[in-house]
Structure 1
């Protein structure tokens, strides 16, 4: 018997596939309960509540792991595998991805899963305080504990996966965020990016053109920033009837249910762009989450297609839309209304040029489009020896400063401006960083395809009409969940396999015009 094709291409599932979905949704309920506690930890948890919160999250991680590796899911998966055909259907893809997840999770003992949850929870709390004080020494033992556990995770996954047995240890972690990717493949893409970016950065620095960034460094009341950020997210299509915007030490987006997506940002009273572009970035993630098939929440068809594709959405909405001239033609009047003293006389063109200033900066999340990928390359080049053991975790601060100086020409003045600026390592998200640059590559390809198919896209954005682009992305990306592998999804949407060429072409054309390059 052939099961009906589920999702947007057919009726709801039934039989063994429905049974599998029921087990996955139950496990998702447990996981998202933990995610609520993790969100609260980053936003509202009292300082003294941290230790017990780590115990709570570890307990829930263990229970979720049991559900996702237990006999009920195994049996449901076997029954669905015996039933679902054909190989190219959405149903078959759902079962295939569920099998992939099951096999990976069963390589990990519950003890390791619980300990990773507990240690990373405490590490994130320590990181927030260490970053405030720029105190790497205080964070060092937490980082060492996280790296030790991530090495153990990488070894366990590789031992249970034939395709990873002979690969670099780092690949077992990278595969969790960008399925199927290998570090040597990513290195080749990054080498091409570096070869194109370094001369462009040099040409811009030598052009003698200096946009007026003073627009961004005036008095911007935080309350007005919140309203402007919220309006920007709504403009793009983020739905606040199923979402929130709060404050955290490091901006993030998390989904706590099929109609519950949370964004966070951080504010600087003398620079609205930090919070604003942080929100546009996280709203890009949120729009993806809010347009996944809700009826498949908890199952692969209701989940995003890898972190590279996810980051393509945050970077597309933040940069290709939010830093475009067309966007500021629409958004400038609202910006002036929210900040009349700071921007009362600022034109759309002045705002466009200010938010596209290119210069080496210390902080990744505040970097411009051109230099941003160099920040990612730095982290990628540190993470691999961290996991292989060639770079002791205690030496990462010095290694960071040396590599940063080699790439950008100056050293971070403090650990807060260097290796403590990101929360990812504290959270155990080693292997995540490469997806930011891959996301930029994917975003450029999707943008070019949308331009070709949507007609006057620039005119639509200038008129404040973001619906055609959002609908196009829903059709090409969001609605498929994990039906396709990331590279296959991008190839289907953009018409060719992933390549850095469109990104480099976009950056050269845009910033060549802004900086008067030949």
Structure 2
């Protein structure tokens, strides 16, 4: 113990220690971005070793016993008297992270990092070839190590809860199940009414020829207009779209293009820009500490889904951007604005989660959530995963994937070890609806603003209410602080019924 050390000295030590770790983490993030966008095929094996070494160093730093000693000096000191003050928040989250890190043996942390780096590379090679057999052993190894992580972290009821808490602090399977059940009921009802509606959109306009260069130019122009800072970021192609924060002034986004389909790359870009604008809005003066970090993946997803859907698929948004879209794409010259708006909001059960409409999207998440639970509980083996996947697709969406590529192998998450991550997507939709309703209440008619190209009021409201808060509040507390309400499926249900009820006249 550092006897005689004053709280201010202990806090400064922790601040320096964690900022240095954050720089190492930003190097790892840059390596991850490069591996998924630029690396030559023969570089993956060496990259796996680089990532493993960085992970080892970061784990050693995260479990340094001196962190515990400094925290003991600080806990109960003047630094923790005001729970939402930056210093108190940092101390609280440093303690939470330290306790979690200490439970994971260095061997396990390094092995998981190496295994997932290899598994992601294997997924990227195997998915285009529809080669489940090549990918399966990698997924089995990832699952084995993930189970070890859950056991090491500990849990009260479900191994899954140990993983879920890492992505959404404080969340549990038991708390999610009633919310998801209510949402499932409402979605099935709405989907049934839509499928029986006499009014249908003409989605063929989205499957015309959209040159890649024009798609990139238009998406960049729109992303910049809504608030993504290209002076602090960039857009690149990848196999599976993502946003990644390297550090202050460097938050990158990616997308994937299909010259015969408009929506995939465009809405994928806006989605990732929503993630990136959250990262760009975090308080730079707190970078490297919890007060400068996003609070959870669900809150993160609320930002991307809000910009993609509640903004990017609104009629007001397209009243402003459709003339520019027509200038970029010959394919849209003969298309009516309202017809285009209906087309980009078409509801149709589909195979691919990232291209799913707002009504069916959460059914994709429920499928994955239930499969992950079964895997962690030992009720399902990886070898049986493709058929289990197909059974749930048939039950929820009435579809059977024709291959592995657009079925069980479509997502990068499991290869990356991100088991417990998928529920945060549905939580993001729930949070987004609650935040958007509150913003509308406080700012006025948002869609009228969008029609005039005014996106700054919403972005600034989000910056103030959410982005600049860092990890001051855990997710459910943040929702309560911003909206005055508990987390609920009802605002999302109301939003979806109002929007799609009007479009489909049901």
Tell me the residue number matched to 1:373: 362
- Residue 235 of structure 2: SS of its match in structure 1? strand
- The whole-number CA distance in structure 2 between the counterparts of 1:116 and 1:244 is 29
Shift of 1:78: 3.0
The residue that corresponds to 1:417 in the other structure is: 406
Is residue 122 of structure 2 the alignment partner of residue 122 of structure 1?
no
Q: Hey, what does 2:40 align to over in structure 1?
A: 46
TM superposition shift of 1:454: 0.1
What is residue 187 of structure 1 aligned with on the other side? 177
Instruction: Describe the SS at the equivalent of 2:11.
Output: helix
Q: 1:410 offset after TM fit, Å?
A: 2.1
| Alpha-carbon separation, structure 1, partners of 2:97 and 2:367 | 29
Matches of 2:232 and 2:91 in 1, distance apart? 28
Deviation larger for 15-24 or 433-442? 15-24
Note if 1:101 corresponds to 2:97.
yes
Matched, 1:169 2:159: yes
Q: Find the counterpart in structure 2 of residue 261 from structure 1.
A: 251
Deviation (angstroms), 1:156: 0.1
Q: Which residue of 1 aligns with 2:26?
A: 32
Q: CA deviation at 1:87?
A: 3.9
For residues 226 and 415 of structure 1, the distance between their equivalents in structure 2, rounded to whole angstroms, comes to 29
**Residue 197 of structure 1: which of 154, 166, 187 is its match?**
187
How many angstroms does 1:15 deviate by?
A: 4.6
Superposed, which structure 2 residues align to 1:387-402 within 5 Å? 387-402=376-391
2:314 corresponds, among 324, 338, 359, to 324
Residue of structure 2 aligned with 1:271, choices 261, 266, 274? 261
CA shift digits 1:286-334 (9 cap, x unpaired)? 0000000111112110111111111000000000000001100011011
Stretch deviating more after TM superposition (207-216 or 432-441) = 207-216
Q: CA deviation at 1:80?
A: 3.1
Aligned equivalent of 2:280:
290
Deviation per residue, 1:365-421 (Å, 9 max, x gap): 000000000000000000011112111112111110111111111211111111100
- After TM superposition, give the deviation of residue 76 of structure 1 in Å: 3.3
Instruction: Find the aligned partners of 1:414 and 1:186 in 2 and give their Cα distance.
Output: 31
Matched, 1:300 2:295: no
Aligned residue for 2:449? 460
Counterparts of 2:217 and 2:60, CA distance in 1: 43
Query: Which residue does the alignment assign to 1:136?
Result: 132
Q: Distance in 1 between matches of 2:132 and 2:198?
A: 37
Q: What secondary structure does 1:381 align onto?
A: helix
Tell me the residue number matched to 1:362.
351
Worse-matched range after superposition: 19-28 or 367-376 = 19-28
1:136, 1:420 within 8 Å by CA — same for their partners in 2? yes
In structure 1, C-alpha distance between the alignment counterparts of 2:331 and 2:386, rounded to whole Å: 38
| Equivalent of 1:151 in 147, 150, 165 | 147
The TM-score with structure 1 as length reference comes to 0.94
2:433–2:492 Cα contact (<8 Å) kept: yes
Q: Does structure 1 residue 57 correspond to structure 2 residue 51?
A: yes
Moved more, 320-329 or 69-78: 69-78
Give 1:77 deviation, angstroms.
2.8
Determine if contact 1:119/1:146 at 8 Å carries over to the other structure.
Answer: yes
2:425 matched to 1:436? yes
Alpha-carbon separation, structure 2, partners of 1:89 and 1:237: 28
Residue 513 of structure 1, CA deviation: 0.5
* Count of aligned pairs: 498
Aligned to 2:109: 113
Q: For residue 242 of structure 1, what is the aligned residue in structure 2?
A: 232
Q: Is the 8 A contact 2:302 2:432 kept in 1?
A: yes
For the residue of structure 2 that corresponds to 1:264, the secondary structure is: strand
TM-score between both structures, scaled by the size of structure 2:
0.97
SS in 2 for 1:498: coil
Distance apart, 1:82 and its partner CA: 4.7
SS at match of 1:106: helix
CA distance in structure 1 between the aligned counterparts of 2:253 and 2:8, rounded to whole angstroms: 35
Indicate the SS of the match to 2:439: helix
Whole-angstrom CA distance in 2 between matches of 1:187 and 1:129: 35
The whole-number CA distance in structure 2 between the counterparts of 1:215 and 1:18 is 59
Match of 2:437 in 1: 448
Specify the SS of the correspondent of 1:132: coil
Quote how far apart the aligned CAs of 1:345 are.
2.7
Q: Distance in 2 between matches of 1:118 and 1:85?
A: 38
Instruction: Name the CA distance, whole Å, in 2 between partners of 1:466 and 1:77.
Output: 42
Q: Distance in 2 between matches of 1:291 and 1:219?
A: 36
Aligned with 1:21 (options 5, 12, 15): 15
Matched-pair contact (CA < 8 Å) for 2:350–2:399: no
8 A Cα contact 1:87 1:93, kept in partner: no
- Counterpart-to-counterpart distance in 1, 2:475 and 2:84: 17
Secondary structure of 1:369 counterpart: coil
Render the CA deviation track for 1:164-211: whole Å, top value 9, x for unaligned.
2x2200000000001110111111111011010001101100102220
Q: Is the 8 A contact 1:215 1:342 kept in 2?
A: yes
CA contact (8 A) 1:332 1:347 kept: no
Runs of 4+ in structure 1 off by over 6 angstroms are none
